[in-house]
Amino acid sequence: MKVLVVGAGARENAICDSLKDDVDLYTYISKKNPGISKISKYTIGDEGDLDKVADFAKENNIEIAVIGPESPLGKGIVDKLEEVGVKCVGPCQSAARIETDKSFMRNLFEKYNIPGSLTYKVFDNTKDLNEFLDSYDKQVVVKPVGLTGGKGVKIVGDHLKNNEEAKEYASEVIDNVMGGFAQVIIEERVIGEEYTIQAFCDGEHLAPMPAAQDHPHAFEGDQGAITGGMGSYSDKGGLLPFLSQSDYDESVEIMKKVIKAIAKEAKPYKGILYGQFMLSNEGPRLIEFNARFGDPEAMNVLPLMDTKMIDVCKAIVDGTLDKVEFKDLASVCKYIVPDGYPNTKYAGESIEVDEDKINELGAKVFYASVSEENGEIKLSGSRALGIVAQGENISEAEKIAEEACKYVKGNVYHRRDVGTDALVEKRVNHMNEIRNN
Ligand code: GLY
């Protein structure tokens, strides 16, 4: 079967890896990702040029396309591919609004009485915004309504000092039409531990994956800028050390209700639904949805799949999705990034990656924002590659991943603390304190 994967990052490298043994694999990538290019028939092009991607799919008789990143989903790549007869693992444009329009997402919770939402308000003018913030005495989170590549969200108590600074930033969001909407969404700030649950969806049924926890801060000890994610872990049993079975089940129930609501408001949701939750002292609260796999979280869950990815993709497009099986192991992913990231001066420099040594340790490499030029791996300004290891527990997987990171050489760094006993214990203690409050 001819399958096309669209997207050139580590998430897409992991998707390709999960398909490569069972399909005739084609990829449409914006740059020559060394991991993707060696396992697929690749074409380099603009993933957002929908006509070109559709022409490519048609010319090559692609039967199923798996869409990695959010941007082409937001532009309607699935609608375009379906027009030319290609079935897709990815939601159509109207269903992808669950990620691309945060106001649509929050309104869905309200209209369909779905639990787990937050107090929120959407503003399109500074007068109403300021009046609201002057009378609101809790800390808030300011979010552009549309896509901003993970860089638009600012939190009072973290990036912003107080609600006065929130007013200034929220006005900027409206004035600069950040994320493509002259609107801003203000949400209450919820305290707790964040976690991710990803699920396969066929429009009606949902098959959840093991939970994972990402680490957005650039530096160890959760310091520094918020990034796309510096690493993540998942645990045996599909839960997390601070997340109980009932917290997990409650989160999945929220996702099921959302899928039903999307089918009523837009079109049936086919693809991957990524739920980012906060475990608060009142239980799971939905922070946001993405219409795709998480990056890095895809690297945790995809290598754990026992059910073949191609069978899951077929079931998604046919509407026959059932349970998806995963190995009962823990996993740790550590992202290697250029020194100085997110403001690096090392873009364009070469790095050395000893994949053989990494594989000998039992770990895997998934390439992200690097390109291969004349056999050399060159950094761009963003995350370079993910190293993933599995183990009987998080501690074991962490030690393998950490050892494997030594075989990447150049002007790069990674968070050594992701998945360590000390950091996992800190998360558990934090959650216990919150529960006892
Ligand atoms: N891990 C964050 C994201 O995928 O958006």
**Residue 138 CA to ligand 1 centre (angstroms):** 26
Q: Are 12 and 47 in contact (CB under 8 A)?
A: no
The whole-angstrom separation of Cα 261 and Cα 266 is: 8
Closest CA relative to residue 87, chosen from 205, 209, 2: 2
Amino acid at 307: T
Tokens encoding 283: 């239980």
Distance set, CA 97 to CA 55, 76, 145, 319 (Å): 25, 10, 10, 21
Per-block mean pLDDT, blocks of 10 residues, the chain (437 long): 98 98 98 97 98 98 98 98 98 98 96 96 96 94 91 89 94 95 96 97 98 96 92 98 98 98 97 98 97 98 98 98 97 98 94 98 98 93 97 98 98 98 98 91
For residue 69 and ligand 1, the question of a CB distance below 6 A is answered with no
Give pLDDT, residue 225: 87
The whole-angstrom separation of Cα 334 and Cα 415 is: 7
**Residue 294 CA to ligand 1 centre (angstroms):** 4
For residue 12 and ligand 1, the question of a CB distance below 6 A is answered with no
From 15, 233, 297, give the residue whose CB has the most ligand 1 atoms within 8 Å, as the site to mutate: 297
Q: Which atom of ligand 1 is nearest to the CA of 214?
A: 1
Closest CA relative to residue 272, chosen from 326, 197, 200: 200
Q: Which atom of ligand 1 is nearest to the CA of 150?
A: 5
- Name 210's Cβ contacts closer than 8 Å, sequence gap at least 6: 234, 235, 238, 239, 300, 301, 304, 326
Closest CA relative to residue 277, chosen from 289, 295, 294: 289
The whole-angstrom separation of Cα 331 and Cα 391 is: 6
DSSP string spanning 379-397? E-SS--EEEEEEESSHHHH
Q: Are 62 and 82 in contact (CB under 8 A)?
A: no
The whole-angstrom separation of Cα 286 and Cα 273 is: 13
For residue 99 and ligand 1, the question of a CB distance below 6 A is answered with no
Residue whose CA is closest, atom 4 of ligand 1? 294
**Residue 128 CA to ligand 1 centre (angstroms):** 31
Give pLDDT, residue 274: 98
For residue 290 and ligand 1, the question of a CB distance below 6 A is answered with yes
Which residues, listed in sequence order, are joined to residue 25 by a DSSP beta bridge? 3
Residue whose CA is closest, atom 5 of ligand 1? 294
**Residue 380 CA to ligand 1 centre (angstroms):** 19
Give pLDDT, residue 151: 79
- Size (the chain), residues: 437
Closest CA relative to residue 271, chosen from 102, 97, 95: 95
For residue 295 and ligand 1, the question of a CB distance below 6 A is answered with yes
For residue 294 and ligand 1, the question of a CB distance below 6 A is answered with yes
Q: Are 365 and 414 in contact (CB under 8 A)?
A: no
Model's pTM, two decimal places? Answer: 0.97
From 194, 214, 292, give the residue whose CB has the most ligand 1 atoms within 8 Å, as the site to mutate: 214
For residue 213 and ligand 1, the question of a CB distance below 6 A is answered with no
The whole-angstrom separation of Cα 102 and Cα 108 is: 10
**Residue 228 CA to ligand 1 centre (angstroms):** 6
Give pLDDT, residue 226: 87
The whole-angstrom separation of Cα 129 and Cα 115 is: 26
The whole-angstrom separation of Cα 124 and Cα 267 is: 27
Closest CA relative to residue 331, chosen from 422, 225, 212: 212
Phi and psi, residue 293, nearest 5°: -65, 155
**Residue 287 CA to ligand 1 centre (angstroms):** 12
Give pLDDT, residue 182: 96
Tokens encoding 401: 């991943």
